Amino acid sequence: MFRYQLIIFDWDGTLMDSLSRIVQCMQAAAQDLNIIPASAPAIENIVGLALGIAIRQLHPSLSDEKVELMRQRYSFHYIKAEAAPSPFFAGIPQMLRSLSQQGRLLSVATGKSRKGLSRVFGAHDVGALFHSSRCADETRSKPEPDMLLEILQLHNLSPAQAVMVGDTEYDLEMAARAKVDAVGVTWGAHDITRLRRHNPKVCVDRVEELSAWLHDDIA
């Protein structure tokens, strides 16, 4: 019997190696509007937040109209760049398929829009591995707990029956607020010091470590 019946993953920076593309597209969107682009570290810091919230955090002086225009330009550049899809981190597809074969329920809680997640599901042919998902345009943004609570309700599970895997403190704070255990991965946007602020069960440095930890999850 598995302790965690449901494993919920963040997407960008956790499963997919897309941070550099996010940075490039956010900077291109700013340049389109004659706005001084934010630095790469600043942009990496907001990965995982809903897009409008992320833009507002990067450029707090923008009007609502400019935020919306920048959101549109970012989406334009990202969709264009994704003609060559961002890759998974090495070992991620194998881990997901193995967990699925093990009979685990898999889900996604992401800052992407529903259209964006559907696009990458199709590009990588992995959508069938996931039993549910929640996106930033469907509920409140991380670090609010709503994504996780809605996923738990969908599967009729308690917080103790799920674990959240993510690369940012927004993922781990969301988990803590939903009373869901969490695993931090250090190959993404936020460093281990920030991840540990929210008391994850473990932080891992390699996909192999994550896979072993999840596969060995016996109650």
CATH code of residue 63: 1.10.150
Number of domains in the chain: 2
Question: Are residue 193 and residue 97 in the same domain, yes or no?
Answer: yes
Domain boundary among 62, 81, 100: 81
Question: Are residue 162 and residue 93 in the same domain, yes or no?
Answer: yes
Structure confidence at residue 125 (pLDDT): 85
Domain boundary among 81, 103, 126: 81
On the question of pLDDT at 190 being above 90, the answer is yes
Write down the mean pLDDT value for the chain.
95
Question: Are residue 111 and residue 192 in the same domain, yes or no?
Answer: yes
Concerning whether 146 is annotated as a catalytic residue, the answer is no
CA angle (142, 147, 152) in 5-degree steps = 145
pLDDT tens readout for residues 12-34: 999 999 999 999 999 999 999 99
Residue 139: which of 69, 14, 50, 12 has the closest Cα?
A: 50
pLDDT tens readout for residues 35-51: 999 999 999 999 999 99
Give mean pLDDT, residues 84-88. Answer: 93
Question: Does 131 fall in a domain?
Answer: yes
Question: Does 1 fall in a domain?
Answer: no
Question: Are residue 127 and residue 185 in the same domain, yes or no?
Answer: yes
Question: Are residue 92 and residue 64 in the same domain, yes or no?
Answer: no
Query: Rounded to whole angstroms, how far apart are CA atoms 5 and 31?
Result: 45
Name the token pair of 174. Answer: 């969301």
Catalytic residue among 12, 167, 181, 217: 12
Element (H, E) at 193: helix 192-196
Angle subtended by helix axes 169-178 and 146-155, to nearest 10: 50
Give mean pLDDT, residues 162-191. Answer: 97
On the question of pLDDT at 136 being above 80, the answer is yes
Concerning whether 216 is annotated as a catalytic residue, the answer is no
- pTM for the whole structure: 0.94
CA angle (17, 23, 27) in 5-degree steps = 160
CATH code of residue 154: 3.40.50.1000
Residue 43: which of 61, 62, 63, 20 has the closest Cα?
A: 20
Question: Are residue 108 and residue 69 in the same domain, yes or no?
Answer: no
Catalytic residue among 10, 167, 171, 181: 10
Question: Are residue 136 and residue 61 in the same domain, yes or no?
Answer: no
Query: What range does the domain containing 34 cover?
Result: 19-81
Structure confidence at residue 123 (pLDDT): 87
Structure confidence at residue 2 (pLDDT): 86
Name the token pair of 90. Answer: 């090495």
On the question of pLDDT at 131 being above 70, the answer is yes
Percent pLDDT > 70 in the chain is 99
Question: Does 25 fall in a domain?
Answer: yes
- 6, 148 in Cβ contact below 8 A? no
Domain boundary among 81, 96, 130: 81
Structure confidence at residue 216 (pLDDT): 86
Sign (positive or negative) of CA dihedral 176, 180, 110, 196: positive
On the question of pLDDT at 170 being above 70, the answer is yes
- Which residues share a beta bridge with 218? 2
Question: Are residue 200 and residue 113 in the same domain, yes or no?
Answer: yes
